Amino acid sequence: MAVKKCIKCDARIPAGAGFCPACGAPVEENQKTPKSKPTPVESKPIRSGQNGLQDIIKLITSQKIMVLCFVLAILIAWITRIINQYQPSYSDSFTAVNIINFTFMAGIGGLLLLGGLINNKINIYLRGALIITGGIFLVLNL
């Protein structure tokens, strides 16, 4: 059973007492248990724009995205090589394929390089591979 306190003088009232032993106030007025202080609610700080940008960068440079970009780069390079092999050297399709290849490979190379440098939660060996692969893609396409 909860300990009762007097509303008037805040003294403890023994169980079964009809009056407060300190001030003599009747117990009928003191039937309420003492109010507990409300616990303070911790509020989270509002995110600033910089934290949102950092979250976006971390999402873009996550390990899954980096592996996906690596696989996509290999796929694009393979498809480009097949198309170039069966097309004449100076046709319009050859030029279009090379522009697409350059754009994607340079973009993916930059993303891999950036992801390897920024995201420190990725395994160190994977980061090294991303940096090297991104650098190679950029050098070969520039």
Residues 6+ apart with CB under 8 A from 77: 101, 105
Percent share of the chain, pLDDT over 70 = 58
Q: Is the pLDDT score of 93 beyond 70?
A: no
Provide the pLDDT for residue 46: 55
Given a contact cutoff of 8 angstroms between Cβ atoms, the answer to whether 13 and 20 are in contact is: yes
Q: Give mean pLDDT, residues 58-79.
A: 74
- Domain ranges in the chain are 1-35, 49-141
Rg value, the chain, Cα: 35
Q: Which of 3-12, 53-62, 86-95, 110-119 has the lowest mean pLDDT?
A: 86-95
Distance of CA 45 to the CA centre of its chain: 16
With bands split at pLDDT 50, 70 and 90, how would you rate the model's confidence at 132?
confident
State pLDDT tens for residues 10-46.
Answer: 888 888 888 888 888 887 644 555 555 666 666 555 5
Q: 0.85 exceeded by the pTM?
A: no
